[in-house]
Amino acid sequence: HRLTEAEREQGVQSFTDFPALASELTDGSVEIETIVRFIDRPLGTLTLDAERPRTFWPSPDDCREELNQFAPAGRCDSLFVYWPQHDFAAETAIPSRGWGLGMGASAWSNDATYATVANAPRAAWEMPRSGEVWLHEWLHGVCAQYSRRGVPMPDGDADGAERHGYVRSAETGWCDYYCDLMKGCVLEAGQRKGIPLTAWNALPFERAAGRARPV
């Protein structure tokens, strides 16, 4: 499978919209600087998903050459991989758990949070907020980081919207939930959980021992 030029543009445009969305949902408390690198080397291997039989994903091992070249330990807080899971013209797809996966930082991912997002139809990138899928997968990793430092997270972290009574909006998707998650305002059993605005600048990222688990 190869990304078409249109697919590359759509995915990158969505990714470049993600920092502004994160900032908007935190009233400017979160500022993200991004670098996009286009890789010529084909993704020659995929990793079997240990939790979903017969499904695969591009783990840090599959991208080791690029991680070590462009993002050695300590250089980046978060890493993202955009990959061609689908060949829409041929109507074929590599079986994978979902559109994206995300996990906390560990030595496996060069001490950065790590997320993958696959190619998708054009409409998926824009429905309803451009950048939302990247925000979602990034939040899995970020929530893992803050949880390790003792910040209480709601059940399911980035996947917990419906469990906590939120409804997907036709205009903003799950952004109402992400906003509360990123402000520490998700109500669970009488307690507000998530990342309070005061924590964003107060706690540095901390890597997990061994390998983190993608979700």
Q: In this predicted model, what pLDDT tens digit does every residue of 134-171 receive, in sequence order?
A: 999 999 999 999 999 899 999 999 999 999 999 999 99
pLDDT digits (tens, 9 = 90+) for 2-42: 999 999 999 999 999 999 999 999 999 999 999 999 999 99
Given a cut of 70, is residue 115 above it in pLDDT? yes
Residue type, 32: I
Q: Where are the beta strands (DSSP E) in the chain?
A: 47-48, 56-57, 78-83, 86-87, 92-93, 100-103, 113-118, 186-188, 191-193
Query: What local confidence, expressed as pLDDT, does residue 204 receive?
Result: 59
Give the span between the Cα atoms of 142 and 146, in whole angstroms.
Answer: 6
Domain ranges of the chain: 5-199
